[in-house]
Every structure is written in structure tokens, then in C-alpha cells.
Amino acid sequence: MEQGTGLVFQSLRLVEHANPSPAPCSEVRMHELSIVFYMIDTLEEVARQNELTTIQRVTFNLGEVSGVLPDYLVDCWNWAVKRTDVLHDAVLDVVPIAAVTVCNDCGKTYGTVAHGKTCPHCGSPNTVLLRGNETEIDTIEAL
């Protein structure tokens, strides 16, 4: 019985070692990876249309409640751009956009992350997200 457990453990370790590092952004964070692929498609198209040879830096607005994790986004970016020509050494600057909600009843604004959908000023649930859901390319530096 003990010997059997030991063998199972050993084979699990072997499997682990046989596959040390897949892509730094694996299926675990498909959201960030799909955004990165979409950005690269867009940027390659911009480069074609404007006859740019090298994109050096891209600024990306990332809303606080967009559900995208900036660290994963940068990891995926650094991995994916190496597969391209025009973006090969491009740096991704992620600009965090704070989430703000406005209340339709009292007209005041408040931080979305702290208070959610209920207005902290008057208690109304009649609120709308003003900003903080952005996932958009802001500026591009290129040659």
C-alpha cells in the first residue's frame, strides 16, 4: 500500500517535470490572451495602413472593473508580441482607470469598487457606471 502511493507520487512528479513551462499565459487566463490577440490584430492593421515598420510602445486604458488583470495582460503581451515583426519589442503601458458610478436619483458620483451598485449618498440602486470598464488602446509610439 505504501509502495503504491509512492509510485503514484513519483509519476505525478515526472509528469510535472516533463512539462515545465507552457506558454506564460495559458488557458487559465483566456480573457487576457484574447484581448492581447485582438490588440495585436488591430495594431498590425494600423501599422499596415500607416506604413509603420516598428511599434515601440502602446498605452492601454484598463478599467478597474473590466475584469482584466494587468499583470496577466502584460505577461501575455510580452509573450505574444515576440511572434510578430512590427510589435516584436513593443512595451505595453497599462493605465488603470478608476471606476466611477453616478446616481440617477441624487446626481452624485462615487467609487464603484467601494460601494458597488448602491449609492452611498442616498441609498438608491438606480445607478450607472460612468467609467472603469475600459479595455482600449490609447496611444501608439512608432517609427
Q: Quote the distance between the C-alpha of residue 131 and its chain's center.
A: 17
| Min separation Cβ 43 and Zn ion, Å | 41
69: left (phi over 0), alpha (psi -120 to 50) or beta: beta
> Any contact of residue 99 with Zn ion (CB under 5 A)?
no
Residue 97: what residue type? I
Task: Tell me the site size for Zn ion, rule CB under 5 A.
Answer: 7
Q: Which of these segments, 22-30, 32-40, 74-82, 116-124, binds Zn ion (CB under 5 A)?
A: 116-124
Q: Given candidates 46, 52, 94, 106, which one binds Zn ion under the rule CB under 5 A?
A: 106
**How many residues can be counted in the chain?**
143
Q: Is 62 in the site for Zn ion (CB under 5 A)?
A: no
Residues pairing with 129 in the sheet? 101
Contact code string over 124-143 relative to Zn ion, x by CB under 5 A? x-------------------
- Reported as type and span, the H/E element at residue 111 is strand 109-111
Distance CA 15, CA 27 (A): 18
Task: Report the residue number, 6 or 123, with the smaller CB distance to Zn ion.
Answer: 123
Q: Which residues bind Zn ion (CB under 5 A)?
A: 103, 105-106, 119, 121-122, 124
